[in-house]
Amino acid sequence: MIEKFDYSKIDNYNDLRKLQLVQIEILKVIHNFCIINNIKYSIAYGTILGAVRHGGFIPWDDDLDICMLRDDYNKFIELWTDTDEYILQNHDTNRDFAQSFTKVRKRNTAFVQKTDLGKNYHKGIFVDIFPFDRVPEKKLHQKKQMIDVMLYNLFVREYAPMNNGKLLQLGSKLILKLSRKNKLPLKAKKYLKKICKYNKNTNLKLADMSVINTMRMHYDKKLLEKIVDIKFEDTYVKVLEDYNSFLKIRYGDYMKLPPEEQQTWYHHPVYVSFTNEYEEDKIEQ
């Protein structure tokens, strides 16, 4: 455990801390919902890292992640009902939302990134929920699944990836050009079904299929079977019992702090509000 950290070197730390407290509030709502409905979840990624290394948030972290097996993820979405305070958001609830996972957002708040500008969906402070799926054993089948993931994400985003090479970008643009726009959601569902076809085999390893770099990281088949409590800030939440293996695969030497220049907000919001929802004219685009 790292006992001391110089918080003064984090830009706008007061706003960051206020953001983290709202995210903890949302996490508590999700936690209680999962307990009531017998849904197994774990905090994930940097949120686990923060819990283990700092006893809560990584001091400069500006988001909060949880994960579930696909069946629990589907159950969560099916049972969730939006309230006056919190809403569930994914590509099925709003086609403009171009991500292959789910967010729970708080109403009357805003956390806006450049990629959100001009999009017609709620932009409140959020917690991310990532589904985990089974990975086939054979390398050929893994490559086929990777192609299915790429096509699924392409039809969800409805635009070509910008940072994965020119060839992939040109190919993606061609596929979209040859596809009727009103058929893209059906195509996305088709490829999601292909991605999930191995999920009944509990002897297979697990991966997060949300993006290419996470689907390449394969975790033990029992990763989400054993869940325990862990202290996170002022509360207790659920975490993988074998969080050590998860963190090693994801981060390597996870107890080592990154270089100081990397200890900053990750999402680079252009607008944050803790009392009001985003209005398009508040930001110069």
Hey, which of 9-18, 36-45, 161-170 has the most confident mean pLDDT?
36-45
Buried b (16+ CB within 10 A) or exposed e, 149-180: bbbbbbbbbbebbeeeeeebeeebeeebeeee
CA separation for the pair 70, 223 (Å, rounded): 13
In a domain? residue 45 = yes
Residue 1 pLDDT > 50: no
Q: Is residue 173 a part of any domain in this protein?
A: no
The predicted model gives 207-225 an average pLDDT of 93
Model confidence pTM above 0.85: yes
Whether residue 187 lies inside any domain: the answer is no
285 has a pLDDT exceeding 70: no
- Token pair, residue 17, equals 């801390």
Whether residue 246 is contained in a domain is answered as: yes
Q: How many domains does the chain have?
A: 1
Residue 284, pLDDT score: 46
146 found inside a domain: no
Q: Give domain status of residue 27, yes or no.
A: yes
The pLDDT tens digits of the residues spanning 57-114 come to 999 999 999 999 999 999 999 999 999 999 999 999 999 999 999 999 999 999 999 8
Give how far Cα 128 sits from Cα of 51, 95, 109, Å. Answer: 16, 17, 16
**167 to 162, 170, 172, 177: CA distances (angstroms):** 11, 5, 8, 15
